[in-house]
Amino acid sequence: MNKPRTITQIIEPEYVIEGAGVRLRRSIAPRVSNTYDPFLLFDHFAFNDPVEGPIRGFPMHPHRGIETVTYMLEGSVNHRDSLGNSGLIGPGDVQWMTSGRGILHEEMPRRGPDGKIYGFQLWVNLPARLKMIQPRYQEVKESSIPTLKKDGASIRVVAGSYFGQTGPVTDIAASPVYMDVSLDPDVKFSLPIPASHTSLAYVFEGEAVFAGDPPANEGVTVASVRMVRLGDGDEIQVRTENHSVRFMLFSGEPFGEPIVPFGPFVMNSREEIEQALADLRNGTFVTS
Ligand code: FE2
């Protein structure tokens, strides 16, 4: 019998200001403690009121040693980098960017036709052996992300597999699961997950009950907007009662390496951070 992963932590996102004054809801941030290894950061950006004023974005900034995963639900992000890549991340699209040794990029949100912007960015770590690889993008359009509809559940599979359907993002060091899960009321969802993984769920609409500890196994109700960390086990079990729910599910293989975060860089040692800063100063940060 599978052992359900029960909730070990419920995180209330904090409001932070990033970029050129963008207000975000941040659930986790890079720390030396590396608590959510291989995951480093999760930001939720939403501008749902057109009178909020001009949209500020994220002007040119560097990254090294990580992957940034941008997923838009409404509106879009105009992206441009130092290697000459550019494009629009539209509603339902995912950009999985492996910064490797370094990129400089600009991420500028735009409102959709109804004036809204809604999206997420997850940072995933790279292991020491891959931190200095050449940058790489996996850009996935909305239409090429499989959506499984089954018994009141609708699951968009970006990475990992669900009922034989594998997501389009592959060859990622953390062997991640990345899914957008919607459940109608009174629906059960379960997903086998390797016991070695770190698993997180970000509940952003409605509410759901996550597995509780046996023998009572009554579960824990989590209402939006919350990040939950799921503990040891080999299956994720979520059910809805009177409400629907929508949550992002992230799971990945920890690397078990020390990390030194410094702004947009996450390396393994202080010396590597110094090197990144020196490369930026010397104009040797980006190599084509
Ligand atoms: Fe960035």
CATH number of the domain residue 214 falls in: 2.60.120.10
Note whether residue 287 is domain-resident.
no
Q: How many angstroms does the Cα of residue 74 sit away from the middle of ligand 1?
A: 19
pLDDT of residue 165: 94
Distance 18 CA to ligand 1 centre (A): 10
Model's pTM, two decimal places? 0.96
CA of 226 to the centre of ligand 1 (A): 23
pLDDT tens digits, one per residue of 230-273: 999 999 999 999 999 999 999 999 999 999 999 999 999 999 99
The three-class DSSP label of residue 184 is coil
**Mean pLDDT, to the nearest integer, of 191-213?**
95
Rounded distance between C-alpha atoms, residue 201 and residue 216, angstroms: 22
Give 68 Cα–ligand 1 centroid separation in angstroms. 7
Residue 160, pLDDT score:
97
3-state secondary structure of 100: coil
Cα(187) to centroid(ligand 1), Å: 36
Q: Considering the domain boundaries, does residue 156 fall inside one?
A: yes
**Ligand 1 center from residue 26 Cα (angstroms):** 15
Q: Does 1 score more than 80 pLDDT?
A: no
Distance CA(34)–CA(125), nearest Å, equals 10
Q: Confidence class of residue 47 from pLDDT cuts 50, 70 and 90?
A: confident
Distance CA 39, CA 28 (A): 9
Which residue range forms the structural domain that includes residue 38?
7-282
Q: How high is the pLDDT of residue 187?
A: 97
Give 63 Cα–ligand 1 centroid separation in angstroms. 7
Q: How far is the CA of 158 from the centre of ligand 1 (A)?
A: 20
pLDDT of residue 54: 62
**Domain presence at residue 198:** yes
The CA 30 to ligand 1 mean position distance, Å, reads 14
In a domain, 2, yes or no: no
Q: What pLDDT is attached to residue 18?
A: 86
- Quick one: pLDDT band at residue 174, thresholds 50, 70, 90? very high
Over 80: is that where the pLDDT of 206 sits? yes
Q: Is residue 269 part of a domain?
A: yes
Distance (Å) from CA 238 to ligand 1 centroid: 32
Tens of pLDDT, residue by residue over 100-158, are 999 999 999 888 888 888 999 999 999 999 999 999 999 999 999 999 999 999 999 99
Question: What H or E segment, with its residue span, contains residue 99?
Answer: none
Determine contact, residues 65/267, Cβ cutoff 8 Å. Answer: yes
Quote the ligand 1 centre to 54 CA distance (angstroms). Answer: 20
Looking at residue 213, its pLDDT comes to 67
Q: Report pLDDT for 48.
A: 67
The whole-number pLDDT of residue 20 equals 82
User: Is 288 among the domain residues?
Assistant: no
CA of 105 to the centre of ligand 1 (A): 6
At residue 52, does pLDDT exceed 70?
no
In a domain, residue 191? The reply is yes
168: number of CA atoms within 13 Å, CB side? 16
Average pLDDT, the chain: 93
Q: Domain tally for the chain?
A: 1
Cα 96 to averaged position of ligand 1 atoms, centre (Å)? 11
Q: What is the pLDDT of residue 2?
A: 85
